[in-house]
Structure 1
Amino acid sequence: MRRLSVKTRKKREIVDITDEVQELLSGSTGICFVHVQHTTAALTTADLDPGTDLDMLDAFEAMMPKLKYRHPHNPAHVPDHILSSLIGAAASVPVEDGTLVLGTWQRVILVELDGPRDRNLTVSFVAGS
């Protein structure tokens, strides 16, 4: 298992981590599994045409109802926890000959929901045929 650290700069932002994940792979074929070790960040794949990151963040914000949250630590960031759970804390991507197998426009992204922070990720590889 490898580790990856990502420093975010804003309260909410999309960070393309595709190249960083790719650098950790060997020449094998199998599955790459990336996991973020936080409950206010998420991982997924996305198209990152210019402005799409902001569209995604706007859509995430619009999905969250304005409720009276009961989280004892800090009710204001309950939406961050909920969005992290909905988007997910992990992404799996096939690997062929040491290269991530992504669609033409697909990128592996970290979705920061409560930054800026230093985010820790683990990257695992399972060899396949």
Structure 2
Amino acid sequence: MRSDVIEIRTGDREAVVDLTAQIDAFLAAGDGGDGLLHVWVPHATAGIAVIETGAGSDTDLLAALRDLLPADDRWGHRHGSAGHGRDHVLPGIVAPSMTVPVLGGRPALGTWQSVCLVDTNTDNPVRSVRLSFLAG
């Protein structure tokens, strides 16, 4: 198994960040074989999703999450910025990890699919993402 951590700067805004280029670089540094890539974000307020980016789906996802998880005072978890409790519910909806098959050293994603970090927590400007490859 091979593993590495990348840092992603999301700043002070909600973000869907495409990780596909970093994943491609991580896999290219290996032996080019088949296996499984595990993507893990070790944070209580972020998740990993496969989604199309650049055509509006990423902003649509953030809008849907705002509708589903409003940033208001309904949340029992109340530290941080207003409505921060919703950020702690996010990983129950957008899981903090996923596994992607790798074929010939490339993630076996569909034509329009990208692996993305989903982060609604504006209090945390930098995220770590662990990439782990298990050769088949």
Please, what TM-score do these two structures have when normalized by structure 2? 0.85
Q: How does 1:55-66 map to 2 (within 5 A)?
A: 55-64=60-69
Please, what TM-score do these two structures have when normalized by structure 1? 0.90
Q: Deviations over 1:50-92 (max 9, x none)?
A: 2211111111111126563222534721111111221110121
Shift of 1:21: 1.1
Aligned to 1:17: 19
Aligned length: 128
Aligned to 2:134: 126
Q: How does 1:12-91 map to 2 (within 5 A)?
A: 12-25=14-27, 26=30, 27-64=32-69, 68-74=74-80, 76-91=83-98
Residue identity in the other structure for 2:8? V
Share of identical aligned residues, percent? Answer: 32
Aligned to 1:7: 9
Q: Residues of 2 paired with 1:112 and 1:24: CA distance?
A: 22
Could you tell which deviates more after superposition, 62-71 or 93-102?
62-71
Aligned to 1:101: 108
Shift of 1:101: 0.6
Q: Residues of 2 paired with 1:19 and 1:119: CA distance?
A: 16
Residue identity in the other structure for 2:49? T
DSSP-derived class of the 1:84 partner? helix
Shift of 1:49: 4.0
Q: Residues of 2 paired with 1:51 and 1:89: CA distance?
A: 22
Shift of 1:12: 0.8
Unaligned runs of 5+ in 1: none
Residue identity in the other structure for 1:126? L
